[in-house]
Amino acid sequence: MSDGLTLLSENKCFGGTQQRYSHYSKYLNSEAIFSVFMPPVSTPTVGVVLWLSGLTCNDQNFVTKAGAQRVAAELGLIIVCPDTSPRGEGVANDEAYDLGQGAGFYVDATERPWSDHFKMFSYINIELIDIIKERFSDGKKVAISGHSMGGHGALISALKATEHYISVSAFAPIVNPVACPWGQKALAAYLGENEEAWREYDACELLNMRSAAFTLPILIDQGASDEFLDTQCLTKPIESASNLGLIDIRYQNGYDHSYFFVSSFIEDHLRFHAEHLSAM
């Protein structure tokens, strides 16, 4: 295609289309893949929800497990789902599930061998956001959401690239990565041992630094039976990170960390974003 995107697949879905694209990313220095749900042409489009997935996922996990298309078709929401990291031959990797391919952590790596490809923050918030606005949304506003590592990515994107987003939500987000095993491992590998650099990708730290200037509405759902709730510092630390009153945090009894949890509450999140996107 003339804009550099190659359509890999397209399926009819709730009157709209579920598409998958590849393109060369200058920030990832590799091919990148993302999925897009386009609502029916008969439904007025109110905006875009950019979804960031968690550890071990790619662009397809949300597409096939969240059950979001029915509501997105009703509300006129475009949903864009990128991969969680660069991939391919020549891209650095690790044998562990929580580092390397499938675990980009939405940061711009500065340490070798990761710095050659792992520029996920810039890919999402510069390159992909430009593609969305130019190719899919006709300049309409964007909201951002995510799960676990992707919830971390959504929050730091909204806090660091606020000009792009109208609202932000998260499921079971890693909100304080400087203090949890997943975050400490990834940030040390990608950014080195200087913990000041880590804080620039920590939602709690960013809220404390920038709360006076941050006005985006935030919705967070957390499973109360999530096996990682305490061990990975999910959600709880952000309760005291800001007194803005903009954060709606809901603990859902009996729910764990899986996509069963995400699919149970994704309609709430899409309606939350549609309300704010429609108001602009």
- Catalytic residue positions, numbered: 148, 226, 257
Closest C-alpha to 266, from 51, 82, 100 = 51
**The one-letter amino acid at 195:** E
Locus of tokens 């790596």: 109
Whether residue 121 contacts residue 201, with contact meaning beta carbons closer than 8 Å, is answered with: yes
**How far apart are the two ends of the chain, measured CA to CA in Å?**
32
Long-range Cβ contacts of 6-12 (<8 Å, 24+ apart): 8/33
26: Cβ–Cβ under 8 A, 6 or more apart, which residues?
A: 127
Count helices and strands (H / E) in the chain.
9, 9
Angle (CA) 215-206-280 rounded to 5° is 25
